[in-house]
Amino acid sequence: MTAGMGLERYAPRYKLEIGEPAGSEWLRVDRILEPDSPELTELLKRDDEASGHRSAHANALSFMSFYAGRAPATALLHWALEGRILDIRPENLWVRPHDGHGLAAVAVRSASFLPGGVETLYDVVLRQHLLPLSDELHRRTRAGLRQLHGGVAAGCAMGFCAATREETTVDPAYLLEQWRTFVAQAPGGLARLGDVEIAAGKLVYLRNTCCLYYTSEVGTGTVCGSCCLTPRDERLTAYEGGRPILTV
């Protein structure tokens, strides 16, 4: 198995392993999505141990934001830059958990592409993956679907935003238009859950929901730079000044 696609030059999260991975630490996404799967239980446990969440639903919300920002990122950027849909259907996608938050690595069976446009992207990223994952987290923890979908929206947005944070030739204005195209008709009502803006020459996300990370033992006293608990103008000012985390 070799690292592929070459998109990691835009951000480390775009490094993708090509080929079916070996080793018990890799989790196939279609199994994560099964009801009461031990794979999802393990992912939630790792996030909880890293953060010290005060409730199961806060654990679910925090996990969703981290997960959605990593698992589909390469496919989102491929579509945004090249108009091609990488085949990351759940049965073709593996993730390797991080010791702390989120995912350490992502692998895809082969560097193959699916026919179609943004509707196909909705299918492989949202309808077959992140939205069913939201449903399962809601069923397990009673975390609100709107808040979970807010994590989906934030994670997907970070796939676009991260590509503007490195020394690349990607035009933030172009990626902003691609984001708006993606989110305009996205299932799950993602367009209502936040928006992307340009600040300090980079794309930034402004959430309309909260992941409750500030309630965890690790996050106590701080909120994410994108969080709706901070007024919009203060968030933009902080982003312009290069301060990604705001103290409550």
Q: Cβ-count burial of 115 within 10 angstroms (0-12 exposed, 13-18 middle, 19+ buried)? A: exposed
Q: Is 236 within the bounds of a domain?
A: no
**Which residues fall within 8 angstroms of residue 24, CB to CB, at 6 or more apart?**
none
Q: How much is the pLDDT for 243?
A: 57
Residue 24 φ/ψ region, left for φ over 0, alpha for ψ in the -120 to 50 degree band, beta for the rest? alpha
Residue ranges for the chain with pLDDT beneath 70: 1-5, 166-168, 220-221, 242-248
Q: Identify the CATH number of the domain in which residue 112 sits.
A: 1.10.510
Report yes or no on 233 lying in a domain: no
Judged on CB neighbours under 10 Å (0-12, 13-18, 19+), 133 is buried
Is residue 115 situated within a structural domain?
yes
Domain carrying residue 63: 2-192
Q: 4: which strand partners?
A: 16
Total structural domains within the chain: 1
- Does residue 118 fall inside a structural domain? yes
Asked if the structure places residue 26 within a domain, the reply is: yes
Tell me the whole-structure pTM to 2 decimals.
Answer: 0.92
Has residue 153 been placed in a domain? yes
Tens-digit pLDDT profile for residues 11-29: 777 889 999 999 999 999 9
Cβ atoms of 160 and 77 closer than 8 Å: yes
The C-alpha atoms of residue 27 and residue 43 are separated, in whole angstroms, by: 10
pLDDT tens digits for range 212-223: 888 888 776 678
Residue 56 domain flag: yes
For residue 203, being part of any structural domain is answered with no
